[in-house]
Amino acid sequence: MLGIARRRLGSGCVLGQLMQALRPAAAASAARTYSATAKEMTVREALNSALDEEMSADPSVFLMGEEVGEYQGAYKISKGLLDKYGPDRVLDTPITEAGFTGIGVGAAYQGLRPVVEFMTFNFSMQAIDHIINSAAKSNYMSAGQISVPIVFRGPNGAAAGVGAQHSQCYAAWYAHVPGLKVLSPYSSEDARGLLKAAIRDPDPVVFLENELLYGESFPVSAEVLDSSFSLPIGKAKIEREGKDVTITAFSKMVGYALQAAEILSKEGISAEVINLRSIRPLDRAAINASVRKTNRLVTVEEGFPQHGVGAEICMSVVEDSFEYLDAPLERIAGADVPMPYAANLERMAVPQVEDIVRAAKRACYRAVPMAATA
């Protein structure tokens, strides 16, 4: 990657000097292979294979962040990549998000395709000026002359026992900003297909993963394992079809929504579960089509309720499908408090399967409305 930068920018430039300073020590070479006949794949493996294949296909793609090289990633997402591609394309950085994010944006200005890893998206706040004021706005402010093909990725949302400062969901934060695309995968298929699409995209993409999903295994088809596979940005997926109530969710909450749908089915309620996949752009057409079929909506997210993703979805349905509604809209979100550290309080602050079940029952008039119990 340094060679490409030097040819395009000149070896004496500040970017080249900064990148040279960030180069880690070379590691021993080792090869990695994936089975084409695999039926199951973890989210960690899906992300790793997507990075590997895109770096192999395009020499302008490189990875940078804290511990991505020698340590092979804080969550082992970059396992084996330093050995395969070397320190010019897998850059271990100092603990300075503002510094290495700025370098990444500058490299994207010059035609490279950086993938910037944050150890947690909570640390992206140190670099938020580069993400919003530089990456997101440069294409518009240059009248289309400057493209910024960069991916900002890492774990987002609540993990377990990491307290208020390391548990925030940034989906609504970044989805508020014109010029950014915001993706949030749930399954291995999502992770692999969406990350490939993000790396190939000409615009900046915020890629919100979930730490608790990295070790989860999902079935994958031969199509998903093909190196040319990618998923379209801006398209949701119907994970489970239903006719009585629509449940929208993203990231880890998709799994909770599917569990809730299974419980509801045993009580005669057929729930349709939509995996949003893309937060910005939002697949409003798919959401409204589902609501026009089920006539009810429950939105689920881990983030704070005020100005959240669920609030935007509800407003979209009110604007486009109000006359189809047979019940008030239901929003399930994290508690409107900083995340508690105590395990029992943490569980109360994050949506649970039973919360989704109760909301769906209220929407179907199968339970006493909350207002009646106040």
Among 203, 225, 247, the domain-final residue is 225
The model's pLDDT over 135-178, given as tens digits with 9 standing for 90+, comes to 999 999 999 999 999 999 999 999 888 999 999 999 999 999 99
Residue 38: the pLDDT is: 52
Confidence of residue 75 (pLDDT cuts 50, 70, 90): very high
Strand order in the sheet with 297-300: 237-240, 271-275, 245-249, 297-300, 330-332
Enumerate residues 6+ apart whose C-beta is below 8 A from 211. 75, 120, 155, 157, 159
Residue 19: the pLDDT is: 47
Residue 20: the pLDDT is: 52
Tell me whether residue 232 is in a domain.
no
Task: Say if CB 270 and CB 242 are below 8 A apart.
Answer: yes
Q: Distance between CA atoms of 223 and 111, rounded to whole angstroms?
A: 30
Tell me whether residue 322 is in a domain.
yes
Mean pLDDT score across all residues of the chain:
90
Tell me whether residue 22 is in a domain.
no
Q: Distance between CA atoms of 92 and 373, rounded to whole angstroms?
A: 55
Task: Say if CB 163 and CB 188 are below 8 A apart.
Answer: no
271 and 192 in a common domain = no
Residue 160: the pLDDT is: 87
Q: Is 209 helix (H, G, I), strand (E, B) or coil?
A: strand
217 and 161 in a common domain = yes
Residue 5: the pLDDT is: 46
Tell me whether residue 7 is in a domain.
no
Query: What is the Cα Rg of the chain in Å?
Result: 21
259 and 120 in a common domain = no
Tally of domains in the chain: 2
Residue 233: the pLDDT is: 98
**The pLDDT of residue 373 is above 90:** no
Among 204, 225, 246, the domain-final residue is 225
Query: Minimum mean pLDDT among 35-49, 89-103, 195-209, 233-247: which range?
Result: 35-49
334 and 293 in a common domain = yes
Confidence of residue 366 (pLDDT cuts 50, 70, 90): confident
55-63: average pLDDT: 98
Please return the burial class of 94, using the count of CB atoms within 10 Å of its CB with bins 0-12, 13-18 and 19+. Answer: exposed
CATH assignment of the domain containing 220: 3.40.50.970
**The pLDDT of residue 230 is above 90:** yes
269-289: average pLDDT: 98
**% the chain with pLDDT above 70:** 88
Task: Provide the token pair at 370.
Answer: 């909350």
Tell me whether residue 27 is in a domain.
no
Residue 39: the pLDDT is: 83
152 and 103 in a common domain = yes
**Is the bond preceding 281 in cis, omega lying within 30 degrees of 0?**
yes
Classify the phi-psi angles of 351: left when phi > 0, otherwise alpha if psi is within -120 to 50, otherwise beta. beta
- The partner residues of 21 in beta bridges, in order of sequence, read none
Q: Which of 45, 53, 97, 117 is catalytic?
A: 97
Task: Provide the token pair at 326.
Answer: 């047979």
Known catalytic membership, residue 45: no
Name residue 155's amino acid: P
Task: Provide the token pair at 147.
Answer: 């493209």
196 and 76 in a common domain = yes
147 and 113 in a common domain = yes
289 and 205 in a common domain = no
Tell me whether residue 5 is in a domain.
no
**The pLDDT of residue 257 is above 90:** yes
Residue 35: the pLDDT is: 39
45 and 162 in a common domain = yes
Enumerate residues 6+ apart whose C-beta is below 8 A from 194. 183, 185, 207, 230, 231, 233, 277, 278
252 and 203 in a common domain = no
Task: Provide the token pair at 13.
Answer: 């430039």
Residue 370: the pLDDT is: 56
> What is the domain range of residue 99?
40-225
Tell me whether residue 260 is in a domain.
yes
159 and 49 in a common domain = yes
Query: Minimum mean pLDDT among 23-37, 222-236, 258-272, 321-335: which range?
Result: 23-37
Known catalytic membership, residue 97: yes
